[in-house]
Amino acid sequence: MLRNFRQFITDTIQIVTHGSKYYYAWVGFLLLLIAIGTGAYIGQLNEGLIVTKMRDQVSWGFYIGNFTFLVGVAAAAIMLVIPAYIYDWEPIKEITILGEMLAISALVMCLGFVMVDIGRPDRFWHIMPLVGRLNWPQSMLAWDVLVLNAYLVLNYFVVTYLLYCAYTERHYVKKIVTPLVLLSIPMAVSIHTVTAYLYNGLGARPFWNSAILAPRFLASAFCSGPAILLILLQVLRKTTKLSIKDEAIFKIAELMAYTMGFNLFLTAAESFKELYSGTEHVVYFQYLLFGLKGHNTLVPYAWASIIFGFIAFILFLVPKFRTNWKLLNLGCVLIYASVYIEKGMGLIIPGLTPDALGEIYVYTPSFTEIAVAAGIFAIGFLVFTIMLKAAVPMMLGEFTISKGRRSAEAEPGTEPVQAH
Amino acid sequence: MTDGKLTSLPDHADEAPGGCGLDRRDFLGAGVAAVATALTGCGTLSKEEFLQHNFRELSKEEVLSVIARLEKEYKAKYGKDVKVGTTPPMPGVIFGYALDLSRCIGCRRCVHACVKENNQSRTPEVQWIRVLELDKEEGVNLQHAEQYYNPDEVPREGHFYMPVQCQQCKKPPCVKVCPVGATWREKDGIVVVDYNWCIGCRYCMAACPYGARHFNWGEPNLPPDQVNTETHYLGNRPRPKGVVEKCTFCVQRTRKGLYPACVEICPTGSRKFGNLLDKESEIRYVLENKRVFKLKEELNTQPNFFYFYGV
């Protein structure tokens, strides 16, 4: 058993270090981005967070915005499991493992964004349970640390176990996998809910202190997470022998239409409440949607997010559109962009602007912030690429303990193969 | 890691109490500290500093050794004997503050006295007190506040002034949200920060409704000749980069029976300070005889800082 596992590890390393020239080029590109990000981060460590554009007035920015968005991606990737298990719908069940790998990559990026945002990364151990002094259950950030890490471990275990079973040509034990996969569903909901509560619980920030913040988080995550998966599934069935049926993709697209509609409805409900009642809290919405006192940096992004979200909703709602590959992919890109704005900068910045004393500090990320963020995204993509590289031949049964490396090398994994 | 400053790694393992050399645990600790040093990017993190626990969990002996270490560090850095006190809260004392909006003229002398007293970074200057210039027509409406007013003379026609600093809340949202318990409310009502435990996540800054918390975005720049050497561990001792700081009602002074620097400097007598539990105190006189209000009362943070109109 242990020997098999060791061989599983060494063979996996073997498989991810050998590939086509496209694979090397892609990995090389990611490594380059990681190098740039690392360089920028070293500069930030030496100078302090002063190299960012964050200041006391806007004390969170691009890093935490990306963190929030990616928690949504991590959560939504797993929520695809819900229809698969509730309706026992095989076409989606097959792609559960892909969702889990996407969740792992997103979580790695989440933790990366938190790590680069803190002023004293050398004190990371203070936040570790038992070793440090975790302010639990009071602090929502303490909760977030716990649920994010638990979710990461859970997904990592399930993926490793499933692949190991495939590799050793055994059938996985259903009694182990099914409860864990079912557990991952409420956990996916919980990571995004806790992340919403992190902002939601602050009376000082009326823009976040709204009861529908957590539902909005979930609704938007249900849009952006599957959008990434839809594109990914199409890439995978073009570049590998993995067969993914059209109906699986269209089913996901149909489900997305409902969540997009719901997401737009919640956004409208929130906007109506703020704009119509027009209390003193309206200033944050004004800053986001119309600009305030001549400052309108966010305005074009905010409207782009709303318009993109609406167009994507129409594209996904009409069956004729969503079964047209071009329109479907356009819709995916639009909804992704829409949620990226809404749950990133569109959430963090107006939450903090005007600041607690009414000051407007116009925040735009610095070069360092963009370079570090690019590095973290590259790490996430690299993790995902490596996992896919090993997982796809294992899932296809091409790469197992008995067939070994030879068959995997014979399969370059880049020639377009028909899905059916 | 190209920074030359990183190469010097003052590891004081040989000075550990007992002095019995490196055992395995020390060695591991030193290794982790070296990694952590790379993470601070400043190259001055000792093993003791890295492994130091939350101030509230330290034994008396540990506190003494921490203080000795800090005083040595400050001596090396500023060439001065900085005294780091740990005076505890006085029994039967809860500090309260009241500010007379009808007297304040917005001269900002309090702002600068505070910076001087509390060893804030000078460039960029960190200010624990922010004075808002407000329209008389609008009243206390923060959306009409101006912090960067700069006339030749104050007060300006048609305006009044509202200094805002930490309100020392009885229900401080900043304390509730801190993920590591690096900030807490002391028995005398002062909300303090352990600068050696804060991880710099800035959640407290998002939670504070008064903009009272400030972050050391860069290395604090405190010229040696301007260092105030009378300090408190939880107050005005020089801070490292990457941690949050805030007004402590001058804990280093007030726990010895002195007024906060801002009270002492105020030329108009707008600032009143005292023991809320002492019926004879000036602060109690203000609370009983003037009409006071609390800033953002609706948030139920229950400040021990009050505003009033004295005349």
Rounded to a whole number of angstroms, the distance from the CA of B121 to the nearest CA of chain A is 13
- Do A270 and A296 lie in a common domain? yes
Q: For residue A146, which residues of chain B lie inside 8 Å, CB to CB?
A: none
- Amino acid identity of residue A15, one-letter, is I
pLDDT value at position A117?
A: 98
Q: Looking at the domain assignment, is residue A414 inside a domain?
A: no
The whole-number average pLDDT for the span B281-299 is: 97
pLDDT band for A92, please (50, 70, 90 cuts).
Answer: low
Q: Looking at the domain assignment, is residue A344 inside a domain?
A: yes
Q: In this prediction, what percent of chain B has a pLDDT beyond 90? A: 83
Question: Of the candidates A116, A177, A103, A117, which has an alpha carbon nearest to the alpha carbon of residue A147?
Answer: A103
Q: Does B296 have pLDDT greater than 90? A: yes
Q: Does B20 have pLDDT greater than 60? A: no
Is B206 in Cβ contact with A59 (below 8 Å)?
A: yes
Q: Which of residues 56-75 of A touch B (CB under 8 A)?
A: 56-57, 59-60
Q: Domain B83-311, what architecture?
A: 2-Layer Sandwich (3.30)
- Do A33 and A125 lie in a common domain? yes
Using CA atoms, how far residue A389 sits from A157, A229, B81, in Å, is 18, 16, 61
The whole-number average pLDDT for the span B186-209 is: 98
- Do A372 and A359 lie in a common domain? no
More confident residue, A181 or B288: B288
A-B Cβ pairs (cutoff 8 Å, strict): 168
- Do A149 and A284 lie in a common domain? no
Q: Does B210 have pLDDT greater than 60? A: yes
Mean pLDDT of chain A: 91
Q: Looking at the domain assignment, is residue A409 inside a domain?
A: no
- Do A370 and A344 lie in a common domain? no
pLDDT band for A3, please (50, 70, 90 cuts).
Answer: confident
Q: Does B91 have pLDDT greater than 80? A: yes
Q: What is the ipTM of this complex?
A: 0.92
Nearest by CB: B210 against A117, A124, A356:
A356
| A79/A115 Cα distance (integer angstroms) | 26
Q: Does A401 have pLDDT greater than 60? A: yes
Retrieve residue B35's tokens.
């990694």
Residue-wise pLDDT for A279-326, tens only, equals 999 999 999 999 999 999 999 999 999 999 999 999 999 999 999 999
pLDDT value at position A344?
A: 94
Facing residues of B183 across strands?
A: B193
Q: For residue B120, which residues of chain A lie inside 8 Å, CB to CB?
A: none
Sign of the CA dihedral with B146 first, then B149, B153, and B157 last: negative
* Listed ranges A155-164, B25-34, B243-252; the one with the highest mean pLDDT: B243-252
- Do A295 and A374 lie in a common domain? no
A123 touching chain B per CB within 8 A: yes
Is B202 in Cβ contact with A60 (below 8 Å)?
A: yes
The whole-number average pLDDT for the span A239-258 is: 88
* A365-374, B48-57, B254-263, range with the lowest pLDDT: B48-57
pLDDT value at position B41?
A: 57
Q: Where are the beta strands (DSSP E) in A85-192?
A: none
Q: For residue A45, which residues of chain B lie inside 8 Å, CB to CB?
A: 38-41
Question: Of the candidates B146, B41, B89, which has an alpha carbon nearest to the alpha carbon of residue A120?
Answer: B41
Rounded to a whole number of angstroms, the distance from the CA of A127 to the nearest CA of chain B is 6
Characterize the bridge pairing of strands B244-245 and B214-215. Answer: antiparallel
Best to test chain B binding among A117, A195, A357 (most B CBs inside 10 Å): A357
Is B54 in Cβ contact with A202 (below 8 Å)?
A: no
Characterize the bridge pairing of strands B305-308 and B292-293. Answer: antiparallel
Is B181 in Cβ contact with A57 (below 8 Å)?
A: no
- Do A141 and A67 lie in a common domain? yes
pLDDT value at position B40?
A: 62
Rounded to a whole number of angstroms, the distance from the CA of A280 to the nearest CA of chain B is 9
- Do A287 and A184 lie in a common domain? no
Best to test chain B binding among A59, A348, A363 (most B CBs inside 10 Å): A59
Q: For residue B206, which residues of chain A lie inside 8 Å, CB to CB?
A: 59-60, 199, 202, 204-205, 351-352
Using CA atoms, how far residue B55 sits from A325, B74, B175, B183, B248, in Å, is 60, 19, 15, 10, 16
- Number of domains making up chain A: 2
pLDDT value at position A419?
A: 38
Q: Does B278 have pLDDT greater than 60? A: yes
pLDDT value at position B17?
A: 36
Backbone φ and ψ for B162, nearest 5 degrees, come out as -135, 100
Q: Are A245 and A95 in contact (CB under 8 A)?
A: no
pLDDT band for A411, please (50, 70, 90 cuts).
Answer: very low
Q: For residue B214, which residues of chain A lie inside 8 Å, CB to CB?
A: 56
The whole-number average pLDDT for the span A16-35 is: 96
* Cα Rg of chain B (Å, integer): 21
Q: Which of residues 304-363 of A touch B (CB under 8 A)?
A: 351-352, 354-359
pLDDT value at position B8?
A: 31
Is B211 in Cβ contact with A357 (below 8 Å)?
A: yes
Mean pLDDT of chain B: 90
Is B241 in Cβ contact with A127 (below 8 Å)?
A: no
Q: Does B26 have pLDDT greater than 60? A: no
Tell the burial category of B139 from Cβ atoms under 10 Å away from its Cβ (0-12, 13-18, 19+).
exposed
DSSP state at residue A94:
T
Q: Which of residues 188-227 of A touch B (CB under 8 A)?
A: 198-199, 201-205
pLDDT band for B153, please (50, 70, 90 cuts).
Answer: very high
Q: Looking at the domain assignment, is residue A416 inside a domain?
A: no
Residue-wise pLDDT for A116-126, tens only, equals 999 999 999 99
Is B41 in Cβ contact with A42 (below 8 Å)?
A: yes
Which range marks the domain in which residue A348 is found? 206-244+254-363
Q: For residue B219, which residues of chain A lie inside 8 Å, CB to CB?
A: 47-48
Is A122 in Cβ contact with B36 (below 8 Å)?
A: yes
| B84/B233 Cα distance (integer angstroms) | 6
| A76/B239 Cα distance (integer angstroms) | 42
| A328/A250 Cα distance (integer angstroms) | 9
- Do A158 and A223 lie in a common domain? no
pLDDT band for B21, please (50, 70, 90 cuts).
Answer: very low
pLDDT value at position A115?
A: 96
Q: Looking at the domain assignment, is residue A104 inside a domain?
A: yes
Q: In this prediction, what percent of chain B has a pLDDT beyond 70? A: 86
pLDDT value at position B5?
A: 35
Retrieve residue A16's tokens.
């991810």
| A348/B151 Cα distance (integer angstroms) | 34
- Do A370 and A358 lie in a common domain? no
| A144/A193 Cα distance (integer angstroms) | 9
- Do A155 and A278 lie in a common domain? no
pLDDT band for B31, please (50, 70, 90 cuts).
Answer: low
Q: Does B12 have pLDDT greater than 50? A: no
Q: For residue B210, which residues of chain A lie inside 8 Å, CB to CB?
A: 356-357
Best to test chain B binding among A58, A114, A117, A123 (most B CBs inside 10 Å): A123
Which H, E and C letters describe chain B, residue by residue?
CCCHHHHCCCCCHHHCCCCCCCCHHHHHHHHHHHHHHHHHCCCCCCHHHHHCCCHHHCCHHHHHHHHHHHHHHHHHHHCCCCEEECCCCCCCCCEEEEEECCCCCCCCHHHHHHHHHCCCCECCECCCCEEEEEECCCCCCHHHCECCCCCCCCCCCCEEEEEECCCCCCCCHHHHHCCCCCEEECCCCCEEECCCCCCCCCHHHHHCCCCCCEECCCCCCCCHHHCCCEEECCCCCCCCCCCEECCCCCHHHHCCCCCCHHHHHCCCCCEEEEECCCCCCHHHHHHHHCCEECCCHHHCCCCCEEEECCC
Neighbours of A327 (CB within 10 A): 17
The whole-number average pLDDT for the span B130-135 is: 98
Spatial neighbors of A275 by CB under 8 A, at least 6 apart, are: A282, A285
Q: Are B265 and B71 in contact (CB under 8 A)?
A: no
Is B181 in Cβ contact with A135 (below 8 Å)?
A: yes
Q: In this prediction, what percent of chain A has a pLDDT beyond 90? A: 73
- Do A399 and A282 lie in a common domain? no
pLDDT band for A410, please (50, 70, 90 cuts).
Answer: very low
pLDDT value at position A79?
A: 73
Helix (H), strand (E) at residue A337: helix A325-343
> For chain B, how long is the longest CA-to-CA vector?
71
Q: Are A337 and A310 in contact (CB under 8 A)?
A: no
pLDDT band for A406, please (50, 70, 90 cuts).
Answer: low
Q: For residue B205, which residues of chain A lie inside 8 Å, CB to CB?
A: 56, 59
